[in-house]
Amino acid sequence: MNISHLQCLKCGAQEPFNFDLNLCPRCGIGGEDDPSILDVHYHYDKAAIEFKASIEKQNGNSLARFLPLLPLKTFIDVLPTGNTSLVPAAQLGFDLGFKNLWLKDETRNPTRSLKDRATAVFVGMAVENGLPEVYCSSAGNAAISLAGYSALAGLKAQVFVPNNVSKTRLDWLNRYGANVHVSSGNYDQAFAESEEIGKTKGWYSRNCAYNPYLVEGKKTVAFEIAQQLNFDAPDVVMAPVGDGCTLAAIGKGFRELRQIGLIDRIPKLIGVQAARLNPLVSRFEGEALKLEQTKASSIAVRKPRNALRLARELQESKGMLVSVDDEEMLVAQKELAQKAGLIAEVTSAASLAALKKLANKFTGEERIVIVVTGGRTDEA
């Protein structure tokens, strides 16, 4: 493994690698303030040589080719993750005035969302460290992902979901044989319950907002996008934002590729929230705070936990956050289906809705990638 240390994004203190360390031991959970998120650092000189060799030698589809920049000793057999298509969306691009618009179709992952990338790494760590019982809280996708991957790996999955979780999502969880805990409250309450019970029971946490290693799995989507574009990085990458982990992970992935010399610049990150539930847009862009119900259930997070990580990546990439109405997401969802043949969940259509909103801020020459994060279309 090439990990050098963990570093607190709040106080800057360094910690040695520990598979079970979530938040910074000095800063703790942070109370009303941000949780003290840890970031994984590698010996980049060594990793650079191994990473390039691995990509060249294997030229394969498995996330195993990215092992030199992952927190794993080996890459165990998991459900076949990643290697999703980067689809040129010519009609959508033409209609919006863009010459180069791609859709990174993460709905093609085994349980239909980008969360599978994080779970692939997480399950590897659980197996590697002999941890048979695992847990997470989730609006649906992360829980389903954990349930599916645990089934193949022989782990016991404990999943915590909000009270408004759809019947379809519950059905997926039950089919995979997960132990489902339905909270009496929203996602934020389910999260708190999972942390309390999970810690008491000694289960291993797949809560991406806290566990620093999940981001390492998610960043592989950036590695893949870059590889699919022959390491000529796009100008803009867009994704929906709930806790902030996914977009921050994408930013980290591109930064690491620049650090090891595979790309020479990083794309501008654009994160999208629902206008009705916009804590991060409010915090970073000054929009009036709204905490209402939204159909974008996968980003319905009232208290984002990974804001520090997101803030760093937005700053590094000169990125921005934007909000869109539910109605705009529903129109975009229909357009993804009817102009690109891609069935996406409402949350995952947020980025296209945002691109339409921002179109006049671009020249049309930019190379833009929209990460379509999930394809389960059963949101409330």
Phi then psi for residue 138, to 5 deg, are: -170, 150
Element holding 198 (H helix, E strand): helix 187-201
Nearer to Zn ion, 13 or 76 (CB): 13
Quote the least distance from Cβ 307 to Zn ion, whole Å. Answer: 15
Q: What is the largest CA-CA distance in the chain?
A: 54
Closest CA to 146 of 87, 211, 100: 211
Nearer to Zn ion, 37 or 275 (CB): 37
Nearer to Zn ion, 24 or 355 (CB): 24
What is the pattern of x (binds Zn ion, CB under 5 A) and - over residues 2-21?
Answer: ------x-xx-x--------
Quote the least distance from Cβ 25 to Zn ion, whole Å. Answer: 8
Quote the least distance from Cβ 235 to Zn ion, whole Å. Answer: 34
Residues 63-82 that bind Zn ion (CB under 5 A): none
Tell me which DSSP letter residue 88 carries.
E
Which region among 24-32, 40-48, 231-239, 286-294 touches Zn ion (by CB under 5 A)? 24-32
8 A C-beta contact, residue 140 and residue 298: yes
* Of the candidate residues 6, 27, 69, 239, the single one contacting Zn ion (CB under 5 A): 27
Quote the least distance from Cβ 24 to Zn ion, whole Å. Answer: 3
Site for Zn ion contains 309 (CB under 5 A)? no
Closest CA to 295 of 319, 258, 327: 327
Quote the least distance from Cβ 40 to Zn ion, whole Å. Answer: 15
What is the pattern of x (binds Zn ion, CB under 5 A) and - over residues 35-54?
Answer: -x------------------
Q: What angle do CA 181, 343, 216 make, to 5 degrees?
A: 60
Nearer to Zn ion, 308 or 369 (CB): 308
Quote the least distance from Cβ 294 to Zn ion, whole Å. Answer: 32
Site for Zn ion contains 277 (CB under 5 A)? no
CA-CA distance, 99 to 104, in Å (whole number)? 16
8 A C-beta contact, residue 116 and residue 109: yes
Nearer to Zn ion, 13 or 170 (CB): 13
Quote the least distance from Cβ 207 to Zn ion, whole Å. Answer: 18
Tell me which DSSP letter residue 65 carries.
G
8 A C-beta contact, residue 330 and residue 294: no
Nearer to Zn ion, 27 or 300 (CB): 27
Burial 273-303 (b: 16+ CB within 10 A, else e): bbbbbbbbbbebeebeebeeebbbbbbbbeb
Site of interaction with Zn ion (CB under 5 A): 8, 10-11, 13, 24, 26-27, 36
